[in-house]
Amino acid sequence: MKHKLHLIALLLVSLLSTTLMATEEDDQVHQAATILNRFRSMPEGQIPRHIMRDAKGLAILSVVKGGFIFSGKYGKGVVVTRGRKGWAGPSFIRTTGIGFGPQVGGQVTDVVLVLNTKEAVRAFTSGTTAQLGGALSVAAGPIGRAAEAGVTDRAAIYAYSLNKGLFAGASLEGTVITARGDANARYYKQQVTPASILSGKVSSPRRSSELIASL
């Protein structure tokens, strides 16, 4: 009896330790999986299957935006890429940006950026800063009949979003996305570059299995 109670106590301590060890990065990886599943549960806003099938990578973020006339936004998330052996990552990113125009209110937005080209993937693996717009074209991702008809001239990045709250006039043009080296080091427990993570040279931890399974 005492032996069984001892084993139960050890199990409870192990479970409690695992819970306490959960990090901000673990939460972000879980949030990324939740966002993808949320898109799938909304047929009218679902990312078309052929868009996902042809994607070379995905950036998944939760972005907070707010302002009056001038606006600001800040968010965190992850990026994953598709290789010959399947999905690689996650690598952690943050986004910042400012805007000007008829904007008022506050909003939390779940964003999925579909990386359609090798150039788009390179922008996220460089380990520096990627700016959406300009050479790295970004467009609202097709849904419904437009998606079923197929698109021959793809933007480098397709953007999909789900909003919570109230906001008007938001745009991804000019959004700056930066790699988070500190978060990558904590998650992988070593100094790693986005390139080594997203090329598959660094194996994805078991803790990312929920996200990989949702892709």
**Span 35-42, mean pLDDT?**
87
Q: Global pTM?
A: 0.80
pLDDT for the residue numbered 9: 42
Give the separation between CA 63 and CA 215, rounded to whole angstroms: 20
129-158 pLDDT, tens digit per residue, is: 787 877 788 888 887 555 555 555 678 999
pLDDT at 100 over 50: no
Task: Give all strands (DSSP E) within 116-156, no chain letters.
Answer: 129-131, 138-140
Tell me how far apart the alpha carbons of residues 173 and 136 are, in angstroms, rounded to a whole number.
10
The answer to whether residue 24 scores a pLDDT higher than 50 is yes
Nearest in space to 205 (alpha carbons), one of 183, 188, 185: 188
Q: What mean pLDDT do residues 77-87 have?
A: 93
For the residues 175-202, what does the mean pLDDT come to? Answer: 94
